[in-house]
Amino acid sequence: KMKWQPFYLTTVSGIAENHNRRSLSIRDIFSASDSNPILKICISNYMVDIHWLINECPIFLTVPTLCMHGSTQPTQISLDNINICRVDMGAERYGTHHSKFAIIFYQSGVRICITTANFIPE
């Protein structure tokens, strides 16, 4: 069982394992258990590859999700539980303020994840 701590780093691939101590992968961030299921998810990021996110975290196939993104690239998915909306975050690709976060509502509480990474595979 994962021990809850107030601050984690994001797991980085391609580096020594000892540098990933106290880190969470994208799968860890969106993890749940039978005794503490995820009820709904809200994510916001400039770039979101929803197909990659679903592949990494199959929980997105079943949990009601609001996905807000700033990309001008069309994002299409035909799942009734995922509501995708584009938010105007400014015309500049770089140098534009945009929040990158996930709010995960569990049966027993809320996890708030503030990240510096886009929800994309690169």
Question: What pLDDT band is residue 59 in, cutting at 50, 70 and 90?
Answer: very high
Render 55-119 in DSSP notation, one character per residue: HH-GGGGTS-EEEEE--SS------TTEEEEE----S-SSS-----EEEEEESS-EEEEE-SS-B
Q: pLDDT, tens digit, for every residue of 79-98?
A: 899 998 888 776 666 666 67
Instruction: Reply yes or no on whether the pLDDT at 48 is more than 70.
Output: yes
What pLDDT does 41 receive?
97
